[in-house]
């Protein structure tokens, strides 16, 4: 049975602790930072209607939530995590699409961005219309960058004065075309352009999502 992706609400509050545990495991496996969050923080996101959860029956399969920065001028889809048993099934893409659509619905005028070291996430973002950008094009909100302190690579970010790190910054470019009408050729073209960008920046080391 495939896992189903839902808008998280108060009926899912009991999953807050398992979600935090899953995030910690994923960060350890990837060797890069997923900002540490408390169960209370996860619960608040659910109660605010700013999170999606994937379940197979009553089993936790994945999760992601929305954060806003700079007086809601910038929005990030954060904490994307998938249980190892459900990886390589397309679930991450379904979660990402659901939270992305929710972000556009709740924050229609915001710039949607993300930073990641995962090639899998970069590919999904590229298909959704994100483009790689320098960190200077992302939010300057101090609270966002403070969240990077839990990453083992934070010293790189400090040494470069937020110019770059191992993460790639990606920003969504507003597209009036509905997501359902985007054809595969367009998505493929975006991904090819993005791969060319990666090849032109060999100084970075990218990790595939495990």
pLDDT bucket at 197, cuts 50 / 70 / 90:
low
Residue 210 in domain: no
Residue 61 included in any domain: yes
Name the residue range of residue 151's domain: 4-199
Gap between the Cα atoms of 105 and 117, Å rounded:
27
For the chain, the domain total comes to 1
- What is the per-residue pLDDT across 80-126, written as a single tens digit (0 to 9) for each? 999 999 999 999 999 999 999 999 999 999 999 999 888 889 999 99
Name which residue leads in pLDDT, 64 or 1.
Answer: 64
* Buried b or exposed e, range 114-125, using 16+ CB within 10 angstroms: bbbbbbbbbbbb
Closest C-alpha among 181, 70, 64 to residue 118: 64
Q: Would the pTM of this model clear 0.85, i.e. be above it?
A: no
For residue 209, tell me if it sits in a domain. Answer: no
- Please report, for the domain that includes residue 136, its CATH number: 3.40.630.30
Percent of the chain with pLDDT over 90: 63
36: pLDDT strictly greater than 90: no
Cα 64 to Cα 16: distance, rounded to the nearest angstrom = 12
Confirm whether 143 is domain-assigned. Answer: yes
């Amino acid at each position: 049975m495939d896992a189903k992706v839902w808008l998280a609400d108060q009926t899912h509050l009991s999953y807050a602790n398992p979600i935090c545990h899953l995030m910690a495991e994923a960060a350890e496996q990837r060797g890069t930072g997923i900002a540490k969050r408390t169960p209370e923080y996860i619960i608040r996101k659910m109660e605010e209607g700013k999170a999606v959860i994937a379940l197979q029956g009553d089993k936790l399969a994945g999760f992601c939530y929305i954060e806003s920065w700079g007086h809601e001028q910038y929005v990030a889809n954060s904490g994307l995590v998938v249980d190892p048993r459900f990886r390589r099934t397309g679930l991450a893409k379904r979660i990402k699409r659901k939270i992305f659509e929710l972000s556009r619905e709740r924050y229609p005028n915001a710039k949607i961005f993300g930073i990641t070291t995962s090639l899998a996430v970069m590919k999904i973002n590229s298909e959704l219309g994100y483009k790689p950008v320098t960190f200077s094009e992302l939010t300057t909100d101090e609270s966002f960058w403070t969240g990077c302190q839990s990453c083992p690579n934070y010293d790189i970010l400090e040494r470069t004065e937020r110019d770059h790190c191992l993460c790639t910054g990606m920003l969504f470019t507003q597209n009036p075309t509905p997501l359902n009408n985007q054809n595969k050729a367009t998505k493929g073209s975006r991904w090819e352009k993005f791969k060319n960008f990666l090849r032109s920046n060999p100084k970075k080391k990218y990790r595939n999502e495990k």
